[in-house]
Structure 1
Amino acid sequence: MIIIKKCGNYRAKFGDGPIWHEGYGLIWLDIAAKKIVTYNPDTEQESVYDAFGWIKSIVPAADGQFIGIYKDGLYYLNFKKGIKMPFAKPEGLNDIHYLNDGKCGPDGQIWVGLSDGFFKRFKESPYTALSHYPFESSKLFSIDAGGNISVKLENITFSNGLDWNRKTNNFYHIDSSKHLIFQYQLKENGDIHFEKIVYSFEMDEGFPDGMAIDADGNLWVALYKGGAIAARLKKPTRIVCICPKKMEVIQEIELPLSHVTSCTIGGENLDTLFVTTAYEPLPEDKVKREPLAGYLLAIPIEQRGVANYQFITNEDKAKIR
């Protein structure tokens, strides 16, 4: 029997980007309302902060600070004090191509991808929701402590859910538009080389979105169904656990709501799956029928998670304590 616990009282229009942090507990985002939410599962203390912009991801730094990944660039961030300072801005950002999911990798750099806003419009139209999107104009970047930017991947449409195997350094990346999870080999010089497609999802399962990795190298993936897809296709909302070696689903968790967005593994023993959800795409009458939609959820699992990699900031440039 799966136990699902609602965490805190904050209900997000579009929850996303959860991370486990030893100091705060869970840090997650309401990207629609531009808020940062913290939740301590031991004390059940919850706090909500202004993100001061359209935040998409948040990355912890080794010195206790954070890097906020916003649609229009990366910023040094102290959300408790309300301080936000520019850090780095990849080329080509605009209203259509914007930054999305990002994490720190084993190289100590931030990896973040671009997303194509036209893809979202294409998939939310009832006329094209089930059609193939033909464009691949986004990229995946890495950014070091000095703000230097390198291109890691091109020919992406909607970059999402990235993580690394802590034992092998294999890099996993989702392009939601293709419904695929890719595995790459991370070289010592920082280059990555394609190895294989780990898993291919059917369109009616939803778009693979936020992703976490456990200590065994299994991938936990949230399957998000946009409004047009959800209206036509009736497969349940799920989190799936995929074994990259077997290239198959080894566990799945069905959730009693329409929209799941991302997940991370945390808790004192790193044995709790924390899941972000959304109610924004739902009509008002359906929001009332989905009491868990928009909340942070906690689900005990048998597997153990791994600690986040932490970004090493340039102390000369990051004086925002």
Structure 2
Amino acid sequence: MVSAEQVTDPIAFHAEGAVWSNAWGGLKWVDMMRGDVLTLGADGSVDRMPTGSTVAAMVRPRVDGGFVVVTEREFTLWDADGRREWAGEPLWEASAGIRFNEGGCDPEGRLLCGSMSYEQTPGAGTVWRFDAERTAERVFGDVTISNGLGFTGDDSRMYYVDSRTRRIDVFDYVDGVLLDRRPFVHVEEGAGDPDGLWVDAEDGVWVALYGGSAVHHYDASGTLTDVVELPVSKITSCTFGGPDLSTLYITTSREGLADDEQPLAGSVFAAPAGVRGTVVRPFAG
């Protein structure tokens, strides 16, 4: 067991989508239901950038600078100074009660992001793909809470979480196509729901457990090898950062908590991982 240490104050309501990139100088994440992108400064301060949307689902660097933000129903592009350059049309009507939730980039630099129903309706979610030509297409559907995804270092496989299945699944990735989805790990009842994930340099998976007060590390064979404990229950995402990508940064939420419950919820935490993580894949557009 490893204990995580607090890095920020509990400044977020529902912190999610942690990602480290040297292109923007360190750690970014989202305060999802407030529609903001947060950046950790070298002095420990946090900058908050509103996106203009009620939801900021995820953020990733762009190959030529700046970043892409997935909002409630759109893909948006921003320059390095935080000015919005472009916003796509909403991909569905607001009345559908669907929002984007979490994702990542594939080896070709296309952005994959899944959706979910606000009511968590079974099977209402879809995984979408957004490419450098600024077009979006459906990849697969019938998901409930589409969550973390990440590729192995050799680009041959993709790990994926639909939280309601209580599984981490794995796909083969061949010529840009996802094939043969199958279970990789079943998370035991009572351990929390699998949420965001990151892949390490040895093809192990580190997965945040919402309601479980922990991050689990499963090695490439699917064996649970490490547990990072946290002093709050709702763990939402994790990523590797620091000079050698060996520090695990972890986001947490205070969604559904009373004001006097878990006073550290909404903070970012960090823990030594003992292994290097994979570098974030940037968006090609």
> What TM-score results when the alignment is normalised by the length of structure 2?
0.91
Which letter does structure 2 place at the counterpart of 1:136?
G
Aligned to 2:112: 111
3-state SS of the aligned residue for 1:285? Answer: coil
Partner in structure 2 of residue 233 of structure 1 = none
Give the aligned partner of residue 263 of structure 1: 238
Between stretches 75-84 and 17-26, larger displacement belongs to 75-84
In structure 2, C-alpha distance between the alignment counterparts of 1:44 and 1:196, rounded to whole Å: 41
Contact 1:275 1:298 survives alignment (8 Å) = yes
Structure 2 partner of 1:205: 191
1:141 and 2:128 matched:
yes
> Distance in 1 between the 2:279 and 2:98 partners?
30
- Alpha-carbon contact 1:75-1:88 (below 8 Å) kept: no
Counterparts of 2:167 and 2:255 in 1: how far apart (Å)?
25
Query: Do the aligned partners of 2:58 and 2:101 also contact (CA within 8 Å) in 1?
Result: yes
Unmatched 5+ stretches in structure 2: none
Give the Cα separation in 2 of the matches to 1:96 and 1:79: 32
Unaligned runs of 5+ residues in structure 1 are 121-134, 226-235, 314-321
- Report deviation, 1:164: 0.3
Are the counterparts in 1 of residues 10 and 265 from structure 2 also a CA contact under 8 Å?
A: no
- 1:27 partner amino acid: K
Once the two structures are TM-superposed, the CA of residue 95 in structure 1 deviates from its matched residue by 4.7
Task: Tell me the distance in 1 between the aligned counterparts of 2:244 and 2:90.
Answer: 36
Secondary structure at the aligned position of 1:72 is classed as coil
Whether contact under 8 Å (1:104, 1:111) holds in the other structure is: yes
Mapping of 1:159-238 within 5 angstroms? 159-188=146-175, 190-225=176-211, 236-238=212-214
Task: Quote the offset at 1:242 in angstroms.
Answer: 1.1
**Amino acid paired to 2:226:** Q
Larger radius of gyration: 1
Instruction: After TM superposition, give the deviation of residue 172 of structure 1 in Å.
Output: 1.0
Contact 2:65–2:80 (8 Å) recurs in 1: no
Greater helix share, structure number:
1
Q: Quick one: structure 1 residues 96 and 244, their matched pair in 2 at CA, closer, same or farther if it must change by over 3 Å?
A: farther
CA RMSD of aligned residues (A): 2.1
Taking only the aligned residue pairs, the percentage that are identical comes to 25
8 Å CA contact 2:66–2:82 kept in 1: the answer is no
Letter in 2 for 1:39: L
Pair 1:67-2:54 in alignment: no
Residue 149 of structure 1 deviates from its aligned partner by 2.4
Q: Provide the rounded CA distance (Å) in 2 between the counterparts of 1:79 and 1:294.
A: 26
- 8 Å CA contact retained: 2:203, 2:220: yes
**Match runs of 1:17-166 below 5 Å:** 17-22=17-22, 23-40=24-41, 42-53=42-53, 54-78=55-79, 80-83=81-84, 85-87=86-88, 89-91=90-92, 94-119=95-120, 135-166=122-153
**Pair 1:211–1:39, CA change in 2 (3 A):** same
Shift of 1:248: 2.3
